[in-house]
Amino acid sequence: MSPQFSRAGQSLTPARWLLAAALVLVLFLLGIESDTVFAALTRAWQTLFELAGLGSWLARMQHGTSSLVTTRSLPAVVTYSLLYVGLCLLLLHVLLRDGQRTRWAAQVYLGLLGLYIILMLVGRLGGNASGVYNLGRRIIDFIVSPLPVMILLPVLWPGTRRFFD
């Protein structure tokens, strides 16, 4: 029996349960207080861009973004999304206890992000096609939610799908 298989078959330690609970709490608070988090991130990015002398560039970039994509500051949205997805992947890693399964989860997230980027490019090249932008928006809303964790956890849980090993 390989060490990876035997480790995956062990139960979670109390420390891992506590860490998982803390991560769930942080993700919950990020979701509940998203407006506050976005406001703080927006102010931080505006200050950083102003200090770098790029405030007008940030305003132009934001002005050129369709309201169907986002009405929030683009750097704030990207920062929030990366933080949320990073915490989701960390939670999955803590619970799954297996680097290979964590990589599979990360590939699912990257695949969804790739699909989003393709949709945004098609929407931009198609003259700001609202249907494509709306679909892309739904994909981002899905990525930055607990749903991927709720789907990936049982699919990748050790013992659930032996053919992954």
- Residue-wise pLDDT for 45-80, tens only, equals 989 988 988 878 777 777 656 554 566 788 888 899
**Radius of gyration of the chain, Cα coordinates, nearest whole angstrom:** 19
Q: Is the model's pLDDT at 109 over the cut of 60?
A: yes
How many domains does the chain divide into?
A: 1
Contacts of 154 (CB under 8 A, 6+ apart): 160
> pLDDT tens, 25-50?
999 999 999 999 999 999 999 899 88
Residue whose token pair is 């035997």: 6
pTM comes to: 0.80
Rounded CA separation 59/49 (Å)? 10
Q: What is the pLDDT of residues 139-162, one digit of tens each?
A: 988 999 999 999 998 888 876 655
Domain that holds residue 27: 3-164
111/130 Cα distance (integer angstroms): 22
- Torsion from C-alpha of 90, 94, 97, 98, nearest 10 degrees: 0
